[in-house]
């Protein structure tokens, strides 16, 4: 029984094997050799890189911000503003989404999802809304942009404009063809 397994292994058709792994290895080896050659060149033969302009370097250095500090202050600001404007929120399944005004971007660009529980409200930063924004809703000059679901918007639109709904008509009765009389006989 062992001899049969060995015969199967020896009978593998080598032409059906893929050549892709060997080409990947050749490309990798060529890349390593190229990098090794450029590093071992004397400094006068190495290609020169364009110097970074000092203005760009100063701006890049000024923009370095500790990410954890930024996230904590944004969430703290979101909590404070949310508590102030809590009465304007549309909840759905104990969740809502808000955006805060960013004066640097001049837009409502800081998005948060708020989850309401018995213990309190939980905030998490999100990249974009999954609900519909309500521009112009809320108190005047509000730094918070509120959202609503599609179902909430539909219900609100119906309550504001009930006459805009199409009038329902009774469907016409269905007329059935009569069956032919049974054969006499």
- pLDDT, one tens digit per residue, over 147-172 is 999 998 888 888 888 777 667 777 78
Q: What is the DSSP string of 63-78?
A: T---HHHHHHHHHHHH
For residue 95, what pLDDT is reported? Answer: 92
CA 47 to chain centre: 41
Which residues make Cβ contacts (< 8 Å) with residue 131, sequence separation at least 6?
A: 92, 96, 97, 147, 148, 149
Residue 101 tokens, joined: 């005004």
pTM (2 decimals)?
0.49
**Stretch (H or E) spanning 113:** strand 107-116
Three-state secondary-structure class, residue 180: coil
Three-state secondary-structure class, residue 30: helix
| Residue that wins the pLDDT comparison between 18 and 108 | 108
For residue 66, what pLDDT is reported? Answer: 44
Residue 146, by phi and psi: left (phi above 0), alpha (psi -120 to 50) or beta? Answer: beta
For residue 64, what pLDDT is reported? Answer: 46
Residue 59 has pLDDT above 60, yes or no: no
Q: Using an 8 Å Cβ cutoff, are 70 and 78 in contact?
A: no
The pLDDT tens digits for 93-108 are 999 999 998 888 888 8
């Amino acid at each position: 029984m062992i001899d049969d397994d060995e015969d199967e292994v020896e009978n593998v058709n080598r032409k059906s094997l893929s050549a892709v792994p060997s080409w990947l290895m050749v490309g990798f080896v060529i890349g390593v050799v190229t990098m090794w050659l450029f590093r071992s060149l004397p400094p006068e033969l190495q290609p020169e890189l364009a110097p970074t302009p000092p203005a760009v370097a100063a701006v890049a250095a000024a923009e370095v911000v500790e990410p954890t500090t930024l996230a904590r202050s944004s969430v703290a600001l979101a909590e404070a503003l949310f508590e102030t404007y809590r009465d304007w929120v549309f909840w759905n399944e104990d969740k809502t989404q808000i955006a805060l005004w960013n004066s640097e971007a001049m837009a409502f660009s800081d998005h948060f999802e708020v989850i309401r529980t018995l213990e309190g409200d939980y905030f998490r930063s999100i990249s974009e809304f999954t609900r519909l924004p309500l521009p112009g809703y809320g108190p005047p000059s509000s730094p918070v942009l509120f959202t609503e679901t599609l179902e909430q918007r539909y219900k609100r639109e119906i309550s504001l404009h009930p006459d805009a709904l199409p009038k329902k008509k009774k469907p016409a009765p269905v007329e059935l063809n009569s069956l032919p009389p049974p054969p006499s006989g």
